[in-house]
Structure 1
């Protein structure tokens, strides 16, 4: 049978990757989902007096091109993705509704075996443990399916929600950095997690469509 010319899996295997946790479904970004994600960003991500992100992208929420910028950022990550450097932006859905984004990224993964993560949820979805669940999902993907040796993340000292998630999973301190945030000095706390330190959840991650993605992510086949 001839391949379907409308099937994106022919050239973009990430379109078939799906992660499933008890409440959530995570898929790499697609254009329809990105439009919904941009709407969620417009709904609000954090209080105006706070800034949890190293890059203060939410400060432009009142500008006419803000929603388009959310989509363009994800398109840029998609365009640059390859075995030497990748950033997969998973759209997080509950009951089919996009709630936020969970990113898993790496540089020279095939050599270093390390990943980085970052995430955000719309304010309406916060406070229900979803941030912990979606972090567990990408950590499980990294450790159990891609063979990662370490996972790194970072959060500003006053971002207690993100730091609690890291603590729940078993991350350990990995140094500090000073950054300028809205014109003032702010302390960024780095954290690192290994498979041995990871406090596994009681559930098992469901993964579909990973096999064809391995070469693109610099991961060898793990059977």
Structure 2
């Protein structure tokens, strides 16, 4: 159910919202990030499947980790161009922050391709929210931005993420490598075309303030239909 909107920002990407019957993706304002900090504190990895190495550093606890996480998002919000952008969304359920869902585009004007990245509070994993928030992000990409294809990557032992990709119609797209805890590990790559997404397109997802955001990302409004 849609949550009460915060006052509009002068920066359009922070005003974008995606609502489904179960959750909302809200542009990651500083106010929402502050509310998400307690959830970040719960997310220290204590067992497999181990996550990516990133500024959030899920392998340690303490304020330095939270500072790196915030700086990573602030930095990413500031590095936006037609050639490369990343939209950060706080996932809320019943108005309470429970995780993040990112949508990433590289040379989107040329390739029309996006990728996604997400994480959830340990308290709500296994409840189907991971699939729901991915569907929300895909609706934004395909319906709101006119994307032609979406990709997703996950370590081969991240069964939850890989199951979501398979359930949503992605097909295997090879393998790659990344690091976790400083050691290399194999990544399973997935690909979802616009045609496959359209077969499962939902009519109960609401997009808000997307049109105002498109010029910031160098995206032309998608054609109807």
- TM-score where L is the length of structure 1: 0.89
Alignment of 1:155-170 (within 5 A): 155-170=154-169
Give 2:85's aligned residue: 86
Q: Does 2:65 match 1:96?
A: no
Distance 1:50 1:188 in 2: 12
Q: Does 2:117 match 1:118?
A: yes
Task: Check conservation: 1:38, 1:71, Cα contact below 8 A.
Answer: no
Deviation at 1:144, TM superposition (A): 1.2
Task: Check conservation: 2:18, 2:205, Cα contact below 8 A.
Answer: yes
Task: Check conservation: 2:55, 2:68, Cα contact below 8 A.
Answer: no
Change beyond 3 A, Cα 1:204–1:46: farther
Aligned positions, number: 216
Give 2:206's aligned residue: 206
Deviation at 1:84, TM superposition (A): 1.8
Distance 2:47 2:165 in 1: 24
Change beyond 3 A, Cα 1:180–1:208: closer
Give 1:197's aligned residue: 196
Distance 2:75 2:111 in 1: 24
Task: Check conservation: 1:45, 1:123, Cα contact below 8 A.
Answer: no
Deviates more, 1:71-80 or 1:173-182: 173-182
Task: Check conservation: 1:35, 1:71, Cα contact below 8 A.
Answer: no
Q: How big is each residue's C-alpha offset from its partner over 1:124-172, in whole Å with a ceiling of 9 and x where there is no partner?
A: 0111100000000010111112110100110000000100110111111
Deviates more, 1:63-72 or 1:154-163: 63-72
Deviates more, 1:34-43 or 1:85-94: 34-43
Give 1:4's aligned residue: none
Give 2:3's aligned residue: none
Deviates more, 1:61-70 or 1:95-104: 61-70
Distance 2:137 2:89 in 1: 9
Alignment of 1:1-223 (within 5 A): 9-10=9-10, 12-44=11-43, 46-55=45-54, 57-198=56-197, 200=200, 202-222=202-222
Deviation at 1:61, TM superposition (A): 3.2
